[in-house]
Structure 1
Amino acid sequence: MGLRGKLGLIFLLVSALAILVLCVAVYTQAQSARLDRTRSFADERIQLAAQSYDTNDVPVFGAKLDDPDLPPQLREAVLQGKRATFKTGSPHAKMWAAVAVKDGKVLSIEQDYESTDDSMKALQQALILGGIGTVALVALVSVILAGSLSKRIVAVAGTARRIAAGDLDASAAEAVGKGKDEVQSLATALDTMASSLRGQLEAERRFTADVAHDLRTPVTGLTTAAELLPPGRPSELVRDRAKVLRRLVEDLLEIARFDSGVEQADLELVGLGAFVGSAVGRLRMQQSLAPDSVIVRQTGPDETVSTDSRRIERILANLIVNALRHGRPPVEVTVSGRTVEVVDHGNGYPEELIAEGPRRFRSGMAERGAGHGLGLTIAVGHAKVLGAELTFGAAPSKDGSGGGALARLVLPPGPETES
């Protein structure tokens, strides 16, 4: 049950309970007032009957002397010198009134007393109908009010999801409208958080871009100088570390371009299955990989898609290199329609990466090796530019052991996509 239903149910239950208590109180008060009126009427009649008997020795109003049916409690009160009334219980309730007269006799009057006469029945019916109508009206008003509150809270939640998806310019205060209640305070706090987050991300983006740009020139010079060193093991180590540093700077620059939002896809029609096969072949040559270290499979017919081939190749290269570096060969690349899957036979991705996605400078589990965490981050950036979906998970087990890491790239359908 949603918030709207819960609030409506709470309002309905509280109002129904309050109306029930009020109706019971009104009905009880009416019964008490009716009993008081009946007692007063009986007391007036017994006084008049006593005066008539003391004067004329004639009882009136049906009064009786020493009635054997007189309740003992009433008789005892009269013998103590009191004029009293007494109501017997149901069924066949009676209202008695008695008083002592001359010669030590007890004069009494008896009359019927029903707890529900026509007036009480009418009052009871009016209370029931009024209570039901009031509860229905309160239910309608509560549903309307709860719906308005629920709608505003849903608007705040929708804005929060937009912010989580990267739209830091989304405003929760505008979504909920004007007001000075708690929902407006929540929306304002969310906008403040988004503004702070936007400032932090912008500062991080500028820092990454500035550092990468400032390091590019000296690292290029360092790489050139390393190539001039005389042959030998120390020179090879220097050249290797210089290349690693250069790749790191290039990766940082690429991430900075993603953060700036200036990257755009250069679309072209590509036969996905054939292109993946050729891209993996080029990667084998560039990385000097063994032919059986990366296996390409295609299920179903080759599908022609409208995409950016350079970015697809970059995504595949990063996924395969990550799988070879942190997993175990062979790496299986499967193409099915618009979906490309890359699976290794290692220990799999860490749960944190599967749940939250890759994060820069986070290498993951120790058993998957060390790294800067930039390769998968760059792959996700290229997929976002393409409008594709890149997810990470665990491959299904085939022999009872772990199935390894699974990266799945799903290209978006488009008007230019051909089968």
Structure 2
Amino acid sequence: MTALDWRAWLQRGLNLWRSSLQLRTVAITVALTTVAVTIISGYMSISIATNLYEDRKQQVLAEARQATANAQQLFDNAVTPTGAIDLDAANSTAGTTVLAAQSNPGGTEYAIQRTEGQSSAQVLTPTATRDFDSSAISEELTAAVAADDGRVHSQAVELTSPDGTTDPGIVVGGAIEVPTAGQYELYLVYNISDVQQTLDFVQQTLLLGSLLLVLTIGLVTYVVVRLAITPVRVAAETAEKLADGQLEERIPERGQDVIATLARSFNRMADSLQSQITQLAELSRVQQRFVSDVSHELRTPLTTIRLAGDVLFDQRADFAPSTARTAELLRTQVERFESMLSDLLEMSRFDAGAVQLDTEPTNLVRLVEDSLEAIRPIADAKGSELRLVAPGGYFEADVDARRIRRILQNLLGNAVDHGEGRPLVVHVDSDADSVAIAVRDYGIGMTPAQLERVFDRFWRADPSRQRSTGGTGLGLAIATEDTVLHAGVLDVWSIPGEGTCFRLTLPRRAGGEVRSFPLDLPPAEPLDSGAIETSPLLSAGVDDE
């Protein structure tokens, strides 16, 4: 399996872990149970092993003391009234005496050895059983026995059998004083493989019991979690369907427990939401129809008023000054009314889903230049200098030029109205996938609360401010809808006292999507802050694709 396959499997596992509460609950429960059972079983195993070994050790020590005492008594009794002793006969009898003191004579090996560094009138021939392993006696044990402190000493060892296997064992040594021959050492070797077999059986039982316990807890957890999670999963799926518009979906109600209570409460909530959503949808349709009908109905009288107003405006030179001023005001307000009516009609078309794009390859730099020229008279009246920053690139994109021009007119109009007479900079840049236009002013800016509502319908940041470009509160809402039609992104940055920047990012090809943002928000300043007020127009070279 390749590294890519491993990563794919790992990613699937991570996704399953994140998405499945049931898996996480069962896995965590089994893991914690395994840790707890392992600790408990380990403690029990160590405790049982210690107790078995200590019990057997005490038994061995008791037998060794008895054997040492018997051997000492044998040698003491072997002395004749004349003070002589038959060492060979006593040595021969000593082995039988030592083995007679053991509870398991066939499993015990012994040896009688002379303590080094002695001189005596007689020497007892060292003796040992045939299978006695002298390598089991360590130097530490020999030194402790040779000290002859009246005690027996033991040491745990591994015993190697003729077939090469090893068994646990205990070596016990004690000192014996042989008349006329000096000090000798009695060593007894005990094979305690029966204790190891008992311990292995106990450990296997503990291991099997632990595994069965963990599996049982895991199975019980799975069943319990499934019983608890299934209703939650059903509720989540039903909620998803409700969110997708399937308002008739409900949770099945069974029983009288808390899950059934949850289902009934959820269904009542869904009934209430369905009723309210249906009512709001009906009201929205009525509202949209009302706006659409009123807007269309107002077209005819507005056209008549416009014609009459134009006639009066053209003849204002023949009127008295107050009447002439009235004709001028009438024409201005009719134009504003006509603009607002056009915005309302456009919003009604968006709401009805009756808007289509008419895209064609368009040079956005040229489009921006045309929009700047269109708003230049208003900007000059406000004292705002217009600047264009276009470093060159893939500026041609498949767009509906009329709608993009409308977006720019809204953004530029807002920048002029709120720019406080300071320069207005338009940035245009692109990459292979996207084209971006940023409109930056250095005016009053907006607060975070205002930024949250800047794209809402009929909302204005400051209705009391004098505007030069209308002001129905629908401009940015329409710009947002036009951006969505192009699968683009319209976002905003603003800080009070530092100005505002709107950034329009569009895919270069119709049907594409925005994958990158060629311009930062706000874009890097073409000039330092000290030169903002007086620098001349910036217009970099434009490279057509």
TM-score relative to the length of structure 2: 0.47
Per the TM alignment, residue 121 of structure 1 is displaced from its structure 2 partner at its CA by 10
The 1-side partners of 2:504 and 2:465 are apart by: 21
Is 1:246 the counterpart of 2:344? The answer is: no
The 2-side partners of 1:323 and 1:125 are apart by: 78
Is 1:219 the counterpart of 2:302? The answer is: yes
Farther-moved stretch of structure 1 (140-149 vs 204-213): 140-149
Contact 1:273 1:302 in 2 (8 A): no
Is 1:342 the counterpart of 2:439? The answer is: yes
Is 1:402 the counterpart of 2:402? The answer is: no
The 2-side partners of 1:306 and 1:210 are apart by: 33
Size of the alignment, in residue pairs? 311
Is 1:209 the counterpart of 2:302? The answer is: no
Residue in structure 1 matched with residue 213 of structure 2 by the alignment: 131
**What is the aligned-residue RMSD (CA, Å)?**
4.5
Is 1:284 the counterpart of 2:376? The answer is: yes
Any stretches of 5+ residues in structure 1 without a counterpart? 21-119, 164-169, 396-400
The 1-side partners of 2:293 and 2:510 are apart by: 39
1:273 pairs, out of 365, 369, 384, with 365
Is 1:331 the counterpart of 2:424? The answer is: yes
The 2-side partners of 1:356 and 1:140 are apart by: 49
Contact 1:353 1:392 in 2 (8 A): no
Is 1:233 the counterpart of 2:286? The answer is: no
Contact 1:361 1:372 in 2 (8 A): yes
Residue in structure 2 matched with residue 36 of structure 1 by the alignment: none
Farther-moved stretch of structure 1 (204-213 vs 288-297): 288-297
Residue in structure 2 matched with residue 115 of structure 1 by the alignment: none
The 1-side partners of 2:507 and 2:286 are apart by: 32
Residue in structure 1 matched with residue 246 of structure 2 by the alignment: 171
Change (3 A) 1:273 1:213: same
Per the TM alignment, residue 264 of structure 1 is displaced from its structure 2 partner at its CA by 0.7
Per the TM alignment, residue 214 of structure 1 is displaced from its structure 2 partner at its CA by 1.7
Change (3 A) 1:290 1:354: closer
Residue in structure 2 matched with residue 372 of structure 1 by the alignment: 472
Deviation string 1:178-218 (CA, Å, 9 cap, x unpaired) is 74475773666655554344323222211211121122222
Contact 1:327 1:346 in 2 (8 A): yes
Residue 414 of structure 1: SS of its match in structure 2? coil
Residue 389 of structure 2: SS of its match in structure 1? strand
Contact 1:269 1:307 in 2 (8 A): yes
Change (3 A) 1:278 1:148: farther
Change (3 A) 1:391 1:187: farther
The 1-side partners of 2:489 and 2:241 are apart by: 21
Contact 1:16 1:135 in 2 (8 A): no
The 1-side partners of 2:365 and 2:395 are apart by: 7
Residue in structure 1 matched with residue 353 of structure 2 by the alignment: 261
Residue in structure 2 matched with residue 381 of structure 1 by the alignment: 481
Change (3 A) 1:196 1:16: farther
Higher gyration radius (CA):
2
Change (3 A) 1:365 1:133: farther
The 1-side partners of 2:440 and 2:425 are apart by: 5
The 1-side partners of 2:234 and 2:493 are apart by: 35
Greater per-residue helix proportion: 1
Residue in structure 1 matched with residue 414 of structure 2 by the alignment: 322
Change (3 A) 1:158 1:276: farther
Farther-moved stretch of structure 1 (313-322 vs 125-134): 125-134
Q: In structure 1, what residue type is equivalent to 2:475?
A: G
The 2-side partners of 1:405 and 1:139 are apart by: 57
Any stretches of 5+ residues in structure 2 without a counterpart? 1-13, 37-201, 254-258, 513-543
Contact 1:251 1:374 in 2 (8 A): yes
Per the TM alignment, residue 373 of structure 1 is displaced from its structure 2 partner at its CA by 0.9
Change (3 A) 1:152 1:121: same
Change (3 A) 1:320 1:143: farther
The 1-side partners of 2:449 and 2:286 are apart by: 25
